[in-house]
Amino acid sequence: MPTGSRTPARQTQAGFSYLFVLMLIALIGMGLAAAGTLWQTDAQRAREAELLFIGDQYRQAIKHYYEFDPAQPRLPESVDDLLADNRRPNPARHLRRAWRDPVSGVAFVLIQSAEGKGIQGVYSPSTQTPLKTAGFDAPYEDFSKASSYADWRFVFIPPAPASQSPAAPGNAPAP
């Protein structure tokens, strides 16, 4: 038998190891692709949860600012008013810090009141479609109809002022 020649048994197995390694690499690649998609979805859900928390913090801070001075309730003019409320001798902090939108990474868009006298809420500038479409808390039930994160509006609606007009003479309450 000449040197370097193969026996018939070895000729039938030639290339199977190479093919096995290629298939193994393909399977690992598909597994990593699936894991990447799962990780991306999990990360988006975490950003959504953070957006809901931070948006609610802004809404509560605006509400607290409004109710902080019951004699003259008013909405804050800017986020700086929420960070340091100087209407009293000891400044109050209604918001711990000026949060950024966790979905887009930029500052929240401020919602001005209808009268233009202060900010009433915030929303994300992101046009991404939310994953969460149900199971929202009471003030945010309308979020289930949202087509993008920009539709998630975290708004404080001040109560309507009580009517100050006196009762008409003919409409006096009966004793």
pLDDT more than 70, % of the chain: 83
Can you give the pLDDT at residue 168? 45
Per DSSP, the three-state class of 23 is helix
For 118-157, the three-class secondary structure string (H helix, E strand, C coil) is CEEEEECCCCCCCCCCCCCCHHHHHHHHCCCHHHCEEECC
Output the DSSP codes for 86-109.
-SSSS-B-SSSS-PBPTTTSSBPE
pTM of the model: 0.73
- pLDDT single digits (tens) 14-48: 677 888 888 889 999 998 888 887 888 899 999 99
Can you give the pLDDT at residue 165? 46
- pLDDT single digits (tens) 165-174: 444 444 444 4
As a whole number of angstroms, the distance between CA 51 and CA 173 comes to 50
- pLDDT single digits (tens) 69-104: 888 889 999 999 999 988 888 888 999 999 999 999
- pLDDT single digits (tens) 94-146: 999 999 999 999 999 999 988 888 999 999 999 999 999 888 988 898 999 99
The residue ranges of every structural domain in the chain are 25-155
More confidently predicted of 65 and 12: 65
Consecutive H or E run containing 112: strand 109-112
* Residues ≥6 apart with Cβ < 8 Å to 104: 124, 125, 126, 128, 149
Residue 154 has pLDDT above 90, yes or no: yes
Can you give the pLDDT at residue 174? 47
pLDDT averaged over every residue in the chain: 84
Matching residue, tokens 């199971």: 135
